[in-house]
Structure 1
């Protein structure tokens, strides 16, 4: 059985959409309830069977790496005070069999370039890419969406791109997949004929938008080496995937949950409300607070 055990998480972005909050704090370290966004994403990857996580980072992002390291002084103080539950939460951020490494993206040359920076660690293996400002909420589902997408990859042998339907009038904000009219139900996959970046509403081939989760064949790394700068003068992952379609299959995986874009202020606030209502420690008080609001 084919397996994917490595993931690339690009964390080198400037977080301009959430300034001034991200001026001194990496956007990936902004908390959603009691965990930074990046921890939610790493936990999602680990739950899907990922064992090796590569953070693509830059200067000023040391706190992202530090978060997954040991903090001996803090742990000793929590142990001295008998705060066992908090101590366990700090110690067990990642399982012992999961490794997190970091590589630098020295220039902001696009998502495709960020992924390519991880190639020495990924090697010739198929790999996942998870964008750290997109949270995929699978609460209440039998299986998390990324886990289900990994299984779809294992069953089909084809790379998978997670997609989510949006109102047709909003498709011009996203990358859109063209499955040539094939209807995909939640939890299912279909072959992608092409991908269109931010198409005009009247030209969009579907309302299925790419939402920041990918399982990609190793060949993508080779294609990225030859990918020329595209939109915005940057090396785009979408361009390499489009090139791959001329030689192999990629499939759109229709997610079942809900995406929250924590890279913008509204999405970040929505995520905190939703995750807060799902958290055992905060659900009841937050629910009561919302009922009291004069909206």
Structure 2
């Protein structure tokens, strides 16, 4: 069996933050979603990572983390990613999406059923199933997957959670299915085809789960990851140690600031500020005279005399005397004297006093 992470997406719904890095490599809870999910499969002798957007950044990580990048080229769906994998392996796969939060123990649940079924699919209950691939079951087995059905017509509230055991027959099924209405080759269509041909597809239900594709959901994933680490359900990220309910890297001076956990602090400059809970200050960020909560402040960003809540402040941004709520900035944006809510900032913004 080979282990696989899919990491080819662009992260459009998180723009402009993903102008700096692909979504799986955005900082979160002292690490990245890519590294958190990679740690789940890192003991496999062969780990493949399907890449496209920002592939050079994954290539830089490959040797240190011991995985083999597989270039998908122009991404044409999850089934297309499996087709590309078929060029390098035809073995059974443990396949995980790299940009989701999966609860600890998901891998073990899936692998415990591999001797009973031809394939195993992780599913999770959600309030808005029509936004996802929805599972229909029959006699406890997967019958079909309906991609984003009309609201009210979904066959259940269970959706595909982005973690699978796939036996070798999956390569034949993805080759046989045609493009979906949105022009992509879908892994979900291949699994539906397998079920129609009589293959037994088991499901394992997991929760909590987060598709970290939107800013609010990305921050929710951070909350769950921080809780997991502080509660001992996951190991601390590389280079971090646990001090109370904080993850700390290096030597951070907390003598004149107040930090509430769970939060993560990289090697940052922190002065006369209040941070947390559920915040991450990445390496080389500078925060002075600020209040930061439920946010991620990315590397080389400089904040002063500002209040930041539920926001993603991207690499190299400068925020001065501003009040930001649910804001996402592009890299190196400068904001001064502004009170903003629920905005995406692609360029500098200066507000009159």
TM-score by structure 2 length?
0.63
Shift of 1:59: 5.6
* 1:110 and 2:110 aligned: no
Match for residue 126 of structure 1 among 77, 92, 97: 92
Q: Is the 8 A contact 1:195 1:238 kept in 2?
A: yes
Shift of 1:173: 0.7
Cα distance in 2 for partners of 1:22, 1:146 equals 28
Shift of 1:68: 3.9
Match for residue 29 of structure 1 among 25, 29, 41: 25
Q: Which residue of 1 aligns with 2:129?
A: 171
Cα distance in 2 for partners of 1:110, 1:160 equals 20
> Matches of residues 6-85 of structure 1 in structure 2 within 5 Å?
6-46=2-42, 50-58=44-52, 60-70=54-64
Cα distance in 2 for partners of 1:68, 1:37 equals 16
In structure 2, relative to structure 1, the CA distance for the partners of 1:196 and 1:44 (3 Å cut) is: same
Cα distance in 2 for partners of 1:162, 1:40 equals 18
Cα distance in 1 for partners of 2:17, 2:77 equals 22
In structure 2, relative to structure 1, the CA distance for the partners of 1:289 and 1:107 (3 Å cut) is: closer
In structure 2, relative to structure 1, the CA distance for the partners of 1:290 and 1:214 (3 Å cut) is: same
Q: Which residue of 2 aligns with 1:90?
A: none
In structure 2, relative to structure 1, the CA distance for the partners of 1:267 and 1:51 (3 Å cut) is: farther
| Unmatched segments (≥5 aa) in structure 1 | 71-93, 139-143, 183-189
Higher RCO (C-alpha 8 Å, min separation 6) = 1
Q: Aligned with 1:178: secondary structure? A: strand
Work out which of the two has the higher radius of gyration on C-alpha atoms and give 1 or 2: 2
Q: Which runs of 4+ in 1 moved over 4 A?
A: 291-295
Aligned-residue Cα RMSD (Å) equals 2.5
- Count of aligned residue pairs for this structure pair: 244
Cα distance in 2 for partners of 1:171, 1:258 equals 15
Cα distance in 2 for partners of 1:145, 1:278 equals 14
Q: Which residue of 1 aligns with 2:121?
A: 161
Shift of 1:262: 2.1
Q: Is the 8 A contact 1:28 1:64 kept in 2?
A: no
Cα distance in 1 for partners of 2:229, 2:54 equals 31
Higher strand share: 2
Cα distance in 2 for partners of 1:149, 1:175 equals 19
1:200-257 deviations in Å (ceiling 9; x for gaps): 34322211111111111211111212221113111111111111112211112112x3
1:248-275 deviations in Å (ceiling 9; x for gaps): 11112112x3112222211111122222
Match for residue 146 of structure 1 among 86, 100, 107: 107
Q: Is the 8 A contact 1:9 1:54 kept in 2?
A: yes
Cα distance in 2 for partners of 1:104, 1:163 equals 27
Cα distance in 1 for partners of 2:188, 2:214 equals 21
Cα distance in 1 for partners of 2:130, 2:192 equals 18
Cα distance in 2 for partners of 1:173, 1:62 equals 31
Match for residue 286 of structure 1 among 242, 247, 261: 261
Higher helix share: 1
> Matches of residues 190-201 of structure 1 in structure 2 within 5 Å?
190-201=140-151
Q: Which residue of 2 aligns with 1:235?
A: 185
Q: Is the 8 A contact 1:177 1:252 kept in 2?
A: no
Q: Is the 8 A contact 1:277 1:286 kept in 2?
A: no
Q: Aligned with 2:114: secondary structure? A: helix
Match for residue 160 of structure 2 among 210, 224, 227: 210
